[in-house]
């Protein structure tokens, strides 16, 4: 009987551990889906951007950003034929978004970083660089 209880206890712990891992995986998958759904529906614009405490928001004037599920992002300059492609990836565990526009010039090159999300809703993302050495602030809002 004692062996049965010990085996039952070990089985319970094993099942509970596996369930915990599965729940964590499900939570991560749901979080990632939320980020992807929020980011890929609609166009985004830079509402505020500061770098080294200098407001350079105006440099992003006319740019709209379209994030796609396949990890691509497009910076589209309204009223022109300019369209710059890049990549992005959201990390639910770290609450970060990585973006990269290879070979891009100003101002898009300033987006090449891993950004720590400090506030977000389906229509707003506020972030600062994950690397604390850089002092910047980014606020994206969904275009209406």
Q: What is the pLDDT of residue 50?
A: 98
**pLDDT given for residue 14 in this prediction:** 43
Q: What is the pTM of this model?
A: 0.77
Q: How far apart are CA 30 and CA 132, in angstroms?
A: 28
pLDDT given at position 13: 43
Q: Which architecture characterizes domain 2-142 according to CATH?
A: Beta Barrel (2.40)
pLDDT in tens, 93-133: 888 999 999 999 999 999 999 999 999 888 999 999 998 89
pLDDT digits (tens, 9 = 90+) for 2-49: 444 444 544 444 444 445 556 666 655 655 566 677 788 899 999 999
Q: How far apart are CA 34 and CA 129, in angstroms?
A: 21
């Amino acid at each position: 009987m004692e062996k049965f209880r010990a085996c039952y206890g070990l089985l319970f712990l094993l099942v509970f551990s596996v369930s915990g891992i599965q729940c964590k995986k499900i939570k991560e998958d749901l979080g990632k889906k939320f980020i992807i759904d929020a980011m890929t529906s609609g166009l985004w614009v830079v509402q505020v951007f500061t770098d080294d405490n200098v407001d350079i928001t105006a440099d992003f004037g006319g740019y709209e950003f379209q994030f796609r599920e396949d990890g691509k992002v497009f910076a589209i300059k309204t009223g022109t034929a300019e369209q710059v492609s890049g990549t992005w990836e959201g990390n639910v565990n770290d609450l970060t978004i990585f973006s990269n526009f290879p070979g891009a010039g100003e101002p898009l090159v300033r987006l090449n970083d891993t950004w720590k999300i400090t506030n977000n809703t389906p229509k707003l993302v506020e972030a600062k660089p994950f690397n604390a050495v850089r002092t910047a602030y980014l606020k994206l809002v969904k275009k209406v």
